[in-house]
A and B are shown apart, each in its own frame.
Chain A
Amino acid sequence: MTILQGVLLGVFALSTIIGYLLIHQVPSLLHTPLMSGMNALSGITILGALVATAIATNEANPVISSILGGVAIIVSMVNVVGGFAVTDRMLKMFTHKDKSHE
């Protein structure tokens, strides 16, 4: 195990704890948007997909070796964009309310 890998494991543990503490504060009112927002964030794996695909395009068989990476980029982008957009749509409904019936 390299130093980087050790650091990564540390970051994993730390971000899990910080995330847990932060999300504890979110009221149940917002649990659905929270979940879809988190969902969008889980598409962060797109970064890995981009790098892997770019490398794969330089392999001997660029089309075959990068086809799965291409799929990964597309689906994670659907996840990211769809997730954030739908969260925004939901939150917009929540914030409009204040003046609606007074």
Chain B
Amino acid sequence: MSRASLPLVALFVLSDPLYYTLVGILTGFVLLGIYFMSKVESARMGNQLSAFAMALAVALTLIHYAILPVWILYILLAIGATIGLIFALKVKMIQMPQLIALLNGLGGLASAIVGGYAYLGIGAMTDSFSQIVALIAIMIGAMTFSGSLVASGKLHRILPQKPLLIRHHSLWLGATILLMATFIVLPQFVKLPDFLVLSVMTVMALGFGLLFSIRVGGADMPITISLLNSLSGVAGAISGLAIGELLLVSIGGIVGASGLLLTQIMCKAMNRSLLEILLGRSTTSSQAKGEVTTEAVVPQQDSDIPVIQADPVELFKKAKDVIIVPGYGMAIAQAQHLVKQLGDILLKQGTKVRFAIHPVAGRMPGHMNVLLAEADVDYDDLYEMEQVNDDFASADLAIVIGANDVINPSARAAEGTPIYGMPILNVDQCPEVFIFNYDLRPGYAGVDNPLYQRKTGVHLFLGNAADTLKSFIDRL
């Protein structure tokens, strides 16, 4: 290996074959850790195994490069570890999406910096391969950083939820891409000052990430976060290519693949193509309303006078088979504990209770599962959409908590609306439906929900889900 030699005292010297064997073993640990993540029972162990492998990797690196005596490194590591621990212990479950987005961005920043050093030949060779991948590492790392910060800000509600568009948005995005591409290729042919190349690259990549993230709306966040997650892995892998570091490449590649897979799953669950998201065709950009087709779905009745319906409390007490559908509204109202309480009341009266989780309910993949797990709901009661969707027709009662687009029957019929073709939970097939939503306004996608107009079998409890649930539980 041709690497800038370190004029440091080597405490240990690892031979290359031994080093690479250990690197292989550590990668194996990580893969095994991920394998354990596929089962709930072993998932925690899997995560700990990955963490353990990571700690060993740090130790191995310090030894292999003979930098054990550089004491400043330990101080920096300690500072980072402390901040990380504080974040991890203080964060509320509801804040998980923004924390993950933030951490993601930090990973991207680190990769960009490593790429910057590599470009200057610090820790890397200065051949054209290394130089080009170093610039790509800066590019992807920096755009992950700014993109994730914006996403995190939106999730934390510091920034507006709505897509923010500047004039000629796509044109600006295109311009940044063009400039970045130019500055990756150009230094190979023309001698440019390092400072110029690095600063143009950084600024353009930061700008790209910002422009990209700022126009993504709230409900598209699950896709955006997954994509940024993937990018942070790719950034790590590319910076690994630049400095010739095997572990960065292998583990970065795994993370990149994972994020990509999640992105695909999210896209499929929203019936969107990744390209649409990348090009910024956000769901809200098309302002089509479902009114044209509402009638086709639900036969409208002329009178506005509500038909006299069965008492919800009675229905609730009689129900033998109940499916609960949580959505982002449950998360913002922090109503998961009340939902659990409601489920417990049902269980106590001998009712079968299942939770139906739409893949994009909430703001990140698996968001609802984490919140319900926090409220101590048994994970065996959490069902994926495909598992439970055929059972709505035979269930006695569906209880919707702050979900809208994912239960909107317009998705099946209302062609031309943003949600058309998106797989939905078949709540409308259930004879009785309770809806604990904030109001009757269309959901994020802007398509009216014909369920709200159904005259029988739909009981609306409008307001903050925490309040409406509480008063309902009090009535029982």
Is B192 an interface residue when CB atoms closer than 8 A count as contact?
Answer: no
Whether the Cβ atoms of A101 and B344 lie closer than 8 Å is: yes
> If the complex has contacts A50-B61, A90-B373, are A19 and B379 also in contact, measured as CB distance less than 8 A?
no
A1 close to B129 (CB less than 8 A): yes
Residues of A within 8 A of B80 (CB): 73-78, 80-81
Q: Assuming the A-B contacts A45-B236, A48-B245, A55-B123, are A84 and B50 also in contact, with contact meaning beta carbons closer than 8 angstroms in the complex?
A: yes
A88 CA to B52 CA in the complex, in Å?
A: 13
Contact (Cβ within 8 A) B65 A54: yes
The docked-state distance in angstroms from the alpha carbon of A89 to that of B88 is 8
Q: Give the contacts of B1-38 with A (CB-CB under 8 A).
A: 1, 4, 6-8, 27, 30-31, 33-35, 37-38
- Mostly, the A contact residues are helix
CB-CB < 8 A to A48: which residues of B? 110-111, 114, 117-118, 123, 239-240, 243, 245, 248
Does A60 count as interface, using CB distance less than 8 angstroms? no
CB–CB A18/B31 < 8 A? yes
- Alpha-carbon distance A37/B255, docked complex (angstroms): 9
Q: Number of B residues whose C-beta is below 8 Å from A?
A: 117
Chain B residues with Cβ under 8 A from A82's Cβ? Answer: 83-85, 87-88, 99, 103
CB contacts (< 8 Å) of B241 on chain A: these are: 5, 8-9, 12
In the bound complex, CA of A40 to CA of B47 (Å): 10
- Per-position 1/0 for B369-395, Cβ under 8 A of A: 110011011111010100000000000
CA distance A55 to B48 in the complex (A): 31
> Once bound together, how far apart are the Cα atoms of A93 and B116, in whole Å?
40
The CA of A72 and the CA of B106, in the complex, are separated in Å by 8
Q: Which of A19, A40, A73, A75 contacts B54 (CB 8 A)?
A: A40
CB pair A28–B357 under 8 Å, yes or no, is yes
Contact A26 B37 (CB under 8 A): yes
Contact with A along B230-262 (1 / 0, CB 8 A): 001101110111011111111111111111111
A-contact 0/1 string along B67-83, CB 8 Å cutoff: 10010110011011101
Contacts of A65 in B (CB 8 A): 122
A88/B48 contact (C-beta < 8 A), A33-B370, A55-B4 known = yes
A36→B103 contact, CB < 8 A:
yes
Contact B34 A4 (CB under 8 A): no
8 Å CB contact of A35 from B31, B67, B225, B257 = B225
The reply to whether B43 and A30 form a contact with Cβ atoms under 8 Å apart is yes
Q: Are A90 and B370 in contact (CB under 8 A)?
A: yes
Contacts of B279 in A (CB 8 A): none
A95 within 8 A of B: yes
Q: List B contacts of A83 (CB < 8 A).
A: 84, 88, 100, 103
Within A26-67, the residues touching B (CB, 8 Å) are 26-59, 65-66
Identify which of residues 89-117 in chain B touch chain A, using a CB-to-CB cut-off of 8 Å. Answer: 89, 91, 93, 96, 99-100, 103-104, 106-107, 109-111, 113-114, 116-117
Assess whether B122 is in contact with A95, with CB atoms less than 8 Å apart.
no
A37 proximity list for chain B (CB < 8 A) = 33-34, 37, 46-47, 50
B205 partner residues in chain A, CB cutoff 8 A = none
**When the two chains form their complex, are residues B106 and A76 in contact, meaning their CB atoms are under 8 A apart?**
yes
Q: B100's closest neighbor in chain A, by CB?
A: A36
**A32, B369: Cβ atoms closer than 8 Å:** yes
Q: Is the CB of B50 within 8 A of A32?
A: no
Q: Which listed residue (B44, B81, B225) contacts A91, Cβ 8 A?
A: B44
With A15-B251, A35-B366, A55-B6 already in contact, the answer to whether A72 and B110 are too (CB < 8 A) is yes
Determine the residue in chain B with the shortest Cβ distance to A9: B241
A83's closest neighbor in chain B, by CB? B103
> Are B377 and A97 in contact (CB-based, < 8 A)?
yes
Also in contact, A86 and B65, with CB within 8 A (given A25-B38, A43-B107, A75-B109): no
Choose from A70, A78, A100 the contact partner of B106 (Cβ within 8 Å): A78
Q: Which residue of A lies closest to B117 (CB)?
A: A52
Interface residues of B in 333-352 (CB under 8 A from A): 344, 347
Q: Is the CB of A45 within 8 A of B366?
A: no
Closest to B65 in A: A51
Is A47's CB under 8 angstroms from B245's CB?
yes
B176 lies within 8 A of chain A by Cβ: no
Q: Across the interface, do B50 and A91 meet the contact criterion of CB distance under 8 Å? A: no
CB distance from B407 to the nearest CB of A (A): 18
CA distance in complex: A23, B251 (Å): 13
A28 and B123 contact, CB distance less than 8 A: no
Shortest beta-carbon distance from A24 to chain B in Å: 6
Interface residues of B in 46-67 (CB under 8 A from A): 46-48, 50-51, 54, 57-58, 61-62, 65, 67
**Which residues on A sit within 8 Å (CB–CB) of B116?**
68
Interfacial chain A residues near B258, Cβ < 8 Å: 19-20, 23, 34-35, 38
* Smallest beta-carbon distance B148→chain A, Å: 10
Listed by A's residue number, 15 A-B pairs whose Cβ atoms lie within 8 Å are A5-B129, A23-B254, A25-B35, A29-B357, A30-B43, A33-B366, A37-B47, A45-B235, A54-B6, A55-B6, A69-B113, A78-B87, A78-B103, A84-B88, A86-B100
New A-B pairs, 19, CB < 8 Å, besides A34-B365, A39-B229, A75-B80: A8-B244, A22-B31, A28-B357, A29-B357, A33-B37, A35-B226, A42-B251, A43-B54, A44-B54, A52-B123, A56-B117, A57-B72, A66-B72, A71-B113, A77-B80, A78-B80, A80-B80, A86-B87, A90-B93
User: Top 6 A-B pairs ranked by shortest CB distance?
Assistant: A77-B80, A81-B84, A31-B366, A19-B254, A85-B88, A82-B84
